[in-house]
Structure 1
């Protein structure tokens, strides 16, 4: 198979190394990583199964490589390439047919190897520890702090105070701000009795974790699954989200479509009378990227298989009032969903 890749995680998956200025080329059994002189020493130390080519003009080196081997067909992911770069390649290589394959690398990576699952499991464990560290901070110093400060402290705790990269910028939202699924931090101050939603993750050897918890803020509060809110409306919503989360994980099976698993969660919230407030899909794949295939959505016809890793994260968001989400990563193992 002949293909070219430019996305950093796609490159890393192919050869164990990436940089922000590189192209991976596969022509049958021959493979190359083209990069510039800033990265060649490190690349030669880390690249596996491919030859490193140093070039100041990456596209020029790619053209020379393709001409030299008489390549006539080449797959690429249009999401990775700019219009300008493709126009340049097509203009100089009129004999090559460039065949678009959206999500080419994601499709290759959709089933995780045992080694990848072990890395994702470790990322999830470290992520849980990060939540516990942040909970300790909240218990000691969290009250009367602004969301912006809590967001900063969440980043510090989740990274192991600089030990790990983050999977994404954490979401730390109080009360009404939590009704925005991807809320940005504000100047709102945390008070006892508030609802607090935290969505965060870290990277372990480049593999991501992703977890969300919603808690009732009180002395000794923790990111436990069981929470008791003073508002009956919030408690009802929380219990529905938790039931939807648990049902989807308990009943998910290999061979089900993403749409069917989404339905397992969505039916609970709809039957509870809050379906209109579940505004996003139930989950997404996780790996080298924080959002990968398979997608657990109402439109997903992908059948989940052994070794696929994805999130289950139902939520209820009532604008101006509150938002609730509970999220865990799972792997299909032995035909069922196992929480990582």
Structure 2
């Protein structure tokens, strides 16, 4: 693609090392232009690499001016990022607009070594925050509501405002955990409860994502080994852990994403819990918390070395409980390595 236009913040950041909430990035052959308003001009000039910063209050109008000046005939764009009005305005420059769905995601699917190192750092910070949260739960969690514990989790994950989160964390107890994206309620945590905790933090804008399901008792932890008193919960937990382990063990570069999904899904669907694994096995993680590759039963994406994605099988029994175990992996030398 010789000429393209971007508006998504993470897509723009990937191109030039800076982004803001009001910008347009133009790549025209060997030249690049970052168009923004006066609030961001100084920051942009100090941080942008390999792009000319143009200040304007009318970004689309300025983009049209550049396109006409450079006599661009064809311009690629992702229709997810531009509304119809913007598209019609851009056409006034005389350019032919060509749709490229998920253009930036595809470009970013294979991570550089620098990106992988940043993601590793993010994962390690997240793991440490999980450990700190488990200590808090042990000391002060009993008797508090999901809403309060959700708030406490945000404080600990963010290191009390020092870092950004990848997404709004999920903290769910017992039957609320049967909702994969549970909203915190007034349900009170007590000893013997099942808790599901899904959270992630950012390091230099790169995301992490992790889920653990645990028994809340005096030894609460987020390790893989969990012993529940309820035999049905224990059986489901052991199956989810097996599906998680087998998918990671058997994933190979060259596979289609749906083949990795199938490894985990067949383990769960061959049990009494068939049909209770209600989402895809995983998703890519990078500058966005959800990006390519998507590890689903419908995805024909070929998995390649240096792709980073989650493995997160689950079982969700409405009105009873939910279980999910999630880790991020990177494909190295043809195999999946847990980050």
Q: How does the TM-score come out when normalised to structure 1?
A: 0.99
Cα root mean square deviation, aligned: 0.6
Q: Which residue of 1 aligns with 2:272?
A: 273
Task: Give the length in aligned residue pairs.
Answer: 338
- CA shift, 1:129, in A, is 0.4
- Using the alignment, how far apart are the partners of 1:159 and 1:130 within structure 2? 8
Deviates further, 99-108 or 77-86: 77-86
- Tell me whether 1:45 sits opposite 2:59 in the alignment: no
- CA shift, 1:275, in A, is 2.2
Q: Which residue of 1 aligns with 2:308?
A: 309
- Using the alignment, how far apart are the partners of 2:313 and 2:164 within structure 1? 26
- CA shift, 1:25, in A, is 0.2
- Using the alignment, how far apart are the partners of 1:338 and 1:300 within structure 2? 21
- Using the alignment, how far apart are the partners of 1:279 and 1:84 within structure 2? 37
- CA shift, 1:160, in A, is 1.5
State the SS of the aligned residue for 1:276.
coil
Q: Which residue of 1 aligns with 2:165?
A: 166
State the SS of the aligned residue for 2:21.
coil
- Using the alignment, how far apart are the partners of 2:218 and 2:285 within structure 1? 34
Q: Which residue of 2 aligns with 1:149?
A: 148
Q: Which residue of 2 aligns with 1:124?
A: 123
- Using the alignment, how far apart are the partners of 1:89 and 1:26 within structure 2? 15
Q: Which residue of 1 aligns with 2:84?
A: 83
- Using the alignment, how far apart are the partners of 1:162 and 1:319 within structure 2? 35
- Using the alignment, how far apart are the partners of 1:30 and 1:273 within structure 2? 59
- Using the alignment, how far apart are the partners of 1:149 and 1:256 within structure 2? 43
1:157-183 Cα shifts (integer Å, max 9, x gaps):
111221110000000000000000000
State the SS of the aligned residue for 1:241.
helix
Where do 5+ consecutive residues of structure 2 fail to align? none
Q: Where in structure 2 are the equivalents of 1:144-293 lying within 5 Å?
A: 144-293=143-292
- Using the alignment, how far apart are the partners of 1:49 and 1:274 within structure 2? 53
- Using the alignment, how far apart are the partners of 2:322 and 2:219 within structure 1? 22
Q: Where in structure 2 are the equivalents of 1:85-100 lying within 5 Å?
A: 85-90=86-91, 92-93=92-93, 95-100=94-99
- Using the alignment, how far apart are the partners of 2:148 and 2:167 within structure 1? 17
Where do 5+ consecutive residues of structure 1 fail to align? none
State the SS of the aligned residue for 2:316.
strand
1:82-138 Cα shifts (integer Å, max 9, x gaps):
112112222x22x21100101000000000000000000000000000100100110
Q: How does the TM-score come out when normalised to structure 2?
A: 0.99
Which runs of 4 or more aligned residues in structure 1 lie more than 3 Å from their structure 2 counterparts after TM superposition? none
- Using the alignment, how far apart are the partners of 1:82 and 1:327 within structure 2? 35
